[in-house]
Structure 1
């Protein structure tokens, strides 16, 4: 959990992401000439599974607990699921599934549930986007449940699986301002599988003037684990039901390769390229006085701020309330917490209310226990015109030793109504953050 498709012609354009994939060899204008403004679920899947309504998100959570054999209430010693290990299937025992088999929808009933509204609404009456990230994470796991079919599992035996979020792909937002008092619909389906990994695409739409308007979409990569979360478990392969599903599936391996390449090219693993090294020297010249021999002295140009003075921090104690079905801190809670402090950092930096434009890839490397202290630090690492790039680092603190381990790094792009003050790095490691933030910003501004 720690350190993460539109008409028939638009299906692929939604689930692909600019920084994870290119399908130049198979791409056709009719199928792929899409922009990031298009977010509707695929017509061919939607029509095939129109009756596959899963109810409300609260009902989904209850059904998942039932399938896993879990009960409401917290126990410091979780109920053992070790007896389910003997029911783990072999890959050859799992029948193929089409994408439309896992397609489903769910509702967040904000228009009728006033108590629920209080959890989702901002003081201006809009939706808290962090709450929606929590729902999308849970819904992605539900789509994994819908995909999974175990023909040899005896009746009455609980599902011998655990689903863990590995990463969340690039998330872009439309210009629809989500209301805190209107229903929101989630849609999604499994779009690719490996031996034990599952890719799920999730959309958000809201009822506006009698019809659903697109809010966002995200691509989740989930891991199927055994009943005790101690090893990988196989999942049903995909047998495409039509040409559109074949195209989507064909891109899965390509997206995986792109993820590996991007990870290997991180500024924290390899040195900056030539243009970036030139930029680093320009930053040095701008912040070093030319009329003195004090080479260790730094100067701040007019209308600029040091990066070291442009951050916000919060330490969050986690509680059982924030746990997932497996008594670890829920990945959606971490995403919400990181987004909200990032928004606060952008707001205080811009001195005006910012708009969230983009969330870069989120990876989940390690589980977090429910008794952890989580330190979230949101840095302004890059600015351009009216945009602010935030890097938020999540650290888990050891209460006994005082040590801390970084578990997640999040990147958010916000826009401001006005031109923002330029942020500048003062140290070498801040310069690396600046370069990485610049990369993330340029990726977020490029068309899908």
Structure 2
């Protein structure tokens, strides 16, 4: 029986790293090109909310554009893939102070900063798609529901030259939008795509928090139709993956046999008991790979809706995962894939955010690291999961130790990590 995520892998192979979102020919020599700083300022104007920290919705309630927000798409303007296309630049080649913000301690790019920028850029693209009328302000609030997939190529992204982000809406449902983006840099005197990213965004009514309809999307060319249909397949894959989650269904026959064989390798046959466990050569118990961190959620890291910025959460989760992978492999691992980051609920200002990372699967030089995020409300002590993050790292180490689960719960983490790795 094939692994449950095999279907996902086969479908995604049609849109691998060489594929791209819709692009338009806009001159890269344009002196008026928009920077990420300008994009954030434009996003603030699009959202139309007070940038000052406040938990009040009075300003929203008083603004007429936030009233009578439709839940159906009937009568909304139909948009094309071209309408939401955007380019944003990060001028690392000329702005030295900005470069220091993006440079890591071994003079490479801070990948977590790019995650923050992609989250912001996805918001700009969605607000561009949903513009209605002549005004810039949008009646909708748009939030990140899922980071479906981020893939990096073999060419490293450097912090020494300009970065260009391009992207557009490539599929829409009733209230959801798939945004496909690319990260580019100049290699051999021309812009080359070094990273693909696909986010799922959802629109909400700022007053009620309920779902809101987004502008319909109509492909106009065979190329655009193929891109739109790929988005439709991605939706089906997400629904299928949710149904076969190990939290809901048991492992398949192949996975069950794998866990049993792995368990047998850790039994001391001389003792004739299941209680005594031995660790195979060049292996590490999964329980010993846990690395945790805690963050106090201050207003400094809020988004325009006065919740903690999702890009910030992704950055600190990635940096914890990278540190864990580095400790495990005793190397400087390279991130290859970011997969299935689901934003289950917003993180409130004043919460305590707990992050727990763990190496859950290894194969050859690769590691699958999972980060679990949960918020704790100090006043009540209540705890609730907000995110699960999945990162694939390459250690470039041929003798990477194998991670071994000891309990049934760890075996499920192992199988889940294996599914993500094989996808």
TM-score (norm 1): 0.86
1:39-188 matches, cutoff 5 A: 40-42=20-22, 45-47=23-25, 55-77=34-56, 80-83=59-62, 84-89=65-70, 91-151=73-133, 158-188=137-167
Matches of 1:18 and 1:200 in 2, distance apart? 22
Contact 1:20/1:255, CA 8 A, preserved across alignment: no
Verify: 1:431 aligned to 2:385, yes or no.
no
The superposition leaves residues 178-237 of structure 1 with CA deviations (integer Å, 9 ceiling, x where unpaired) of 111211100001111111111110110113343222221111111111233512221211
1:38-437 matches, cutoff 5 A: 38=18, 40-42=20-22, 45-47=23-25, 55-77=34-56, 80-83=59-62, 84-89=65-70, 91-151=73-133, 158-228=137-207, 230-418=209-397, 419-437=399-417
- Shift, 1:356, TM fit: 0.8
Paired residue secondary structure (1:240): coil
1:27-46 matches, cutoff 5 A: 36-38=16-18, 40-42=20-22, 45-46=23-24
**Number of equivalenced pairs:** 413
Matches of 2:285 and 2:163 in 1, distance apart? 40
Change (3 A) 1:79 1:115: farther
Matches of 2:75 and 2:415 in 1, distance apart? 48
Change (3 A) 1:69 1:266: same
Matches of 1:97 and 1:329 in 2, distance apart? 31
Change (3 A) 1:229 1:204: farther
Contact 1:21/1:258, CA 8 A, preserved across alignment: no
Matches of 1:123 and 1:140 in 2, distance apart? 28
- Shift, 1:436, TM fit: 0.9
Paired residue secondary structure (1:297): coil
Matches of 2:216 and 2:372 in 1, distance apart? 36
Paired residue secondary structure (1:91): coil
Change (3 A) 1:217 1:326: same
The superposition leaves residues 110-138 of structure 1 with CA deviations (integer Å, 9 ceiling, x where unpaired) of 11222211221112211111110111111
Contact 2:21/2:168, CA 8 A, preserved across alignment: no
Match of 2:3 in 1: none
Change (3 A) 1:246 1:277: same
The superposition leaves residues 274-324 of structure 1 with CA deviations (integer Å, 9 ceiling, x where unpaired) of 011111111111111111144322111221111011121111112112111
Q: Which consecutive residues of structure 1, in runs of 5 or more, have no partner in the other structure?
A: 1-16, 24-31, 444-448
- Shift, 1:21, TM fit: 7.3
The superposition leaves residues 364-416 of structure 1 with CA deviations (integer Å, 9 ceiling, x where unpaired) of 11111121111111101111111111111111122134342121111111111
- Shift, 1:41, TM fit: 4.9
What root-mean-square deviation, in Å, do the aligned CA atoms of Structure 1 and Structure 2 show? 2.4
